[in-house]
Chain A
Amino acid sequence: MTELTKHEPTTVYIKPSTGFTALNLRDLWVYRELVLFMIWRDIKVRYKQTMLGAAWAIIQPVMTMIVFNFVFVTVAKVPTDGIPYPIFAFTALLPWGLFVTALNQASRSLTSNHNMITKIYFPRLILPVSSVLAGLVDFAIAFVILIVLMIYFKVAPAWNVLWALPLFLLLAIVTALGVALWLSAINVKYRDVNYALPFITQFWLFVTPVAYSSKVISENLSEKWLLIYSLNPMAGVVNGFRWALLGAGNGPDAALWISVGISLLVLISGIFYFRNMEKTFADTI
Chain B
Amino acid sequence: MTIAISVKNLSKQYRIGAAQQKFRYGMFRDVLVDTLMTPVRIYRALRGQGMQGTNGTATIWALNDVSFDLEEGKVLGIVGRNGAGKSTLLKILSRVTEPTKGTVTVRGRVGSLLEVGTGFHPELTGRENIYMNGAILGMKRAEIDSKFDEMVDFSEVGQFIDTPVKRYSSGMYLRLAFAVAAHLEPEILVVDEVLAVGDAEFQRKCLGKMSDVAQQGRTVLFVSHNMSAILRLTQEAIVLKKGQLIKRAATPEAVDFYLSSGQAESGERVWEAEEVPAASAPFRPISLRLKDRSGKIVDTVRSTEPVTVEWEYRLDAPITGLRVGMYLNTMRGEYVFTAFDTDDAKQYEQFGARQTGRYISRCEIPADFFNEGRYSLGVNASSFGVRRYFMDENALSFNVDISGAPGTQWPEIRQGPIRPRFDWKIEKIE
Contacts and interface: CB of A to CB of B under 8 A. Distances in A.
Contacts of A14: 92-93, 95, 98-99, 103-106
B118 A15 contact: no
Interface string B182-199: 010101000000000000
B14 interface: yes
A37 B98 CA distance: 26
B112 interface: yes
Contacts of B310: none
B369 to A, nearest CB: 34
Nearest to A46: B123
Interface string B112-148: 1011001101011000100110011110110000010
Nearest to B93: A14
Residue among A12, A14, A16, A31 having the largest count of chain B Cβ atoms under 10 Å: A14
A37 B135 contact: yes
Contacts of B115: 119-120
Interface string B75-98: 000000000000000011111111
Contacts of A41: 121, 124, 128, 132
A122 interface: yes
A37 B99 contact: no
Interface residues of B, number: 49
A116 to B, nearest CB: 5
B216 interface: yes
B135 A11 contact: no
Interface in A35-57: 37, 41, 44-45, 48-49
A274 to B, nearest CB: 15
Contacts of A13: 103-106
A73 interface: no
B22 interface: no
Interface in B309-345: none
B404 interface: no
A279 B317 CA distance: 42
A9 B104 contact: no
A1 interface: yes
A49 B123 CA distance: 9
A17 interface: yes
Contacts of B217: 4
29 contacts: A9-B107, A10-B108, A11-B107, A12-B95, A13-B104, A14-B93, A14-B103, A14-B104, A15-B99, A15-B102, A16-B98, A16-B101, A16-B102, A34-B135, A37-B132, A37-B135, A41-B128, A44-B123, A44-B124, A45-B121, A45-B123, A45-B124, A48-B123, A113-B119, A119-B115, A119-B118, A120-B118, A121-B94, A121-B95
Given A11-B106, A12-B105, A14-B92, 15 more contacts: A2-B183, A4-B217, A5-B185, A9-B109, A11-B108, A12-B107, A13-B103, A13-B104, A33-B135, A45-B124, A113-B119, A118-B96, A119-B112, A120-B96, A282-B96
